Chain A
Amino acid sequence: MSTQATLETAVEEGRCGDRLWLYATYHCNLACGYCLTESMPAIANRRTLSAETMIRVVREAQELGFGAIGITGGELFMLPDAAETLAEIASILPTVALTNATLFTDRLLSRLEPLAELDIALQISLDSDQPDRNDAFRGPENFAKVERAIPALLERRITVRIATTVEEQTEEELARLCVLHRSWGISDDDHIVRGVVRRGRAELAGMGMTPGVTDILPELTITADGAFLHPFGPTVRHGVTDLDLLVSRQVAPLERAVERFLRLVSDQPVGTDVARNIR
């Protein structure tokens, strides 16, 4: 059976997702307490994927039958050519790009305008409707910057999703956050709420929950360190990448990594019910 057919079957059986993830860079302008990758401004090893590498991987992913792309980090927009790279990637496959939305200057926003014509969503992190609460998780002035960025993106007809990482927020707080995103015109379907995963910096800080084997849907994840089982795999502790969920060091050609990924997910239980919705 071809790699493409094997992937199609694995996705149909719920053994893995059809989204391929890229860790564009581990560099970030923030230093969130629950960060899986110890991303921060002064990170010693940025582990950046070049634009050429990301576009090549996405082209190969499309040929192999992947249906969507996710881009995360670090902060994607720390990369100077992020806007143009995103447009190129989204012209190949539907894309969701995770961002903290704190770097959206008018100049960058104008460079993002071509995204309005493409199948792409920017998924923006926001943890509370209260600026002080949100900023306690995510850093000073984070809320104000996000509050400015979201309407600016929506005015440019760029799709926006909100992602909330839950650690100690109350039900009431989350309900108020939903009122806020609805006021921007962002539907509940485009609001993702997920728990902190106890890996990386969150593990060192004793935060979050330890996921079980079936809690996280396997989705092949490409980083500068290799290919991992899912986007919560390539975590960092004390500057060193965890290898326990490494699938393959080799990511070129992508098919080699996909073959190793599919061998591993063939051992996963069949079914699409992922217990804790950790996506």
Chain B
Amino acid sequence: MSRLRLLLRDEAPLPVRSIYAADGSASPLKRSLANAPDLLETLLPFLGQIYDEGAVDLATKELVVVRVSQLNACRYCLAAHRPLALESGVDEEQLAAVCDEIPLGALAERERTIIEWADRYVLDPGAITDELVARVLDHLRDDQMVELAILIGATQMLNHFCTAFDVPPTA
């Protein structure tokens, strides 16, 4: 059970009613964030820009989001992003690999390198080496690494939020 109130549309502060669909529905995450309407004013556009396709294609982003959520054991984010990853073009084998259901070696070199870097970024950023960055830069530009780094940070934030407050995948 969520440790935050999951506000229904009619319970939500007036300034954030627009985050609810016409039928009054919204994800449990949005319903929990509605407790802090001032933050939502900037947080939702920020997250929207980070999670939408940008300099990095959507499939790569979703692969990284699922991987980070797997590392942080975030039940909510895994339930939300596994289907989104498949929709974005991630295939079943790639998804199984980043969810530790099969070895990461199943990934192609580009994805394997990005995930290796993402793992270090989450688990031990001080252990990222120049050599690893150089290998990532064989596949990504500087700005794309920045975009993925911010994506990882935002995902960690939401992983911790959903886990700490026990936000349910469905409500």
Contacts and interface: CB of A to CB of B under 8 A. Distances in A.
A244 B5 contact: no
Contacts of B14: 229, 244-247, 264
Interface in A236-269: 240, 242-250, 256, 260, 263-264
Contacts of B7: 243
Contacts of A263: 15
Nearest to A251: B38
Q: Which of A240, A244, A256, A263 has the most CB of B within 10 A?
A: A244
Contact of A249 (B5, B11, B12, B38): B38
Interface in B137-158: none
B5 to A, nearest CB: 7
Contacts of B34: 243
A250 B38 contact: yes
Interface in B1-16: 5, 7, 10-15
A244 B15 contact: no
B37 interface: yes
A246 B5 contact: no
A264 B35 contact: no
Q: How large is the interface on A (under 10, 10 to 19, 20 to 34, 35 or more residues)?
A: 10 to 19
Interface string B28-58: 0000001111110000000000000000000
A243 B15 contact: no
Contacts of A247: 13-15, 37
Nearest to B9: A244
A242 B38 contact: no
Contacts of B10: 244
Nearest to B41: A260
* Residue among A246, A248, A250, A256 with most chain B CB within 10 A: A246
Nearest to A250: B38
Interface string A183-196: 00000000000000
Contact of B38 (A240, A245, A260): A260
Contact of A260 (B5, B11, B15): B15
A243 B15 CA distance: 11
Contacts of A248: 15, 37-38
A144 to B, nearest CB: 41
A234 to B, nearest CB: 11
CB-CB nearest 8 A-B residue pairs: A246-B13, A250-B38, A249-B38, A243-B13, A248-B38, A244-B11, A264-B14, A249-B36
23 contacts: A229-B14, A240-B5, A242-B11, A243-B5, A243-B11, A243-B34, A244-B12, A244-B14, A245-B13, A245-B14, A246-B13, A246-B14, A246-B15, A247-B13, A247-B14, A247-B37, A248-B15, A249-B37, A249-B38, A250-B38, A256-B38, A260-B15, A264-B15
Given A247-B14, A263-B15, 11 more contacts: A229-B14, A244-B12, A245-B13, A247-B15, A248-B15, A249-B36, A249-B37, A249-B39, A256-B38, A260-B15, A260-B38
Interface of A: 229, 240, 242-250, 256, 260, 263-264
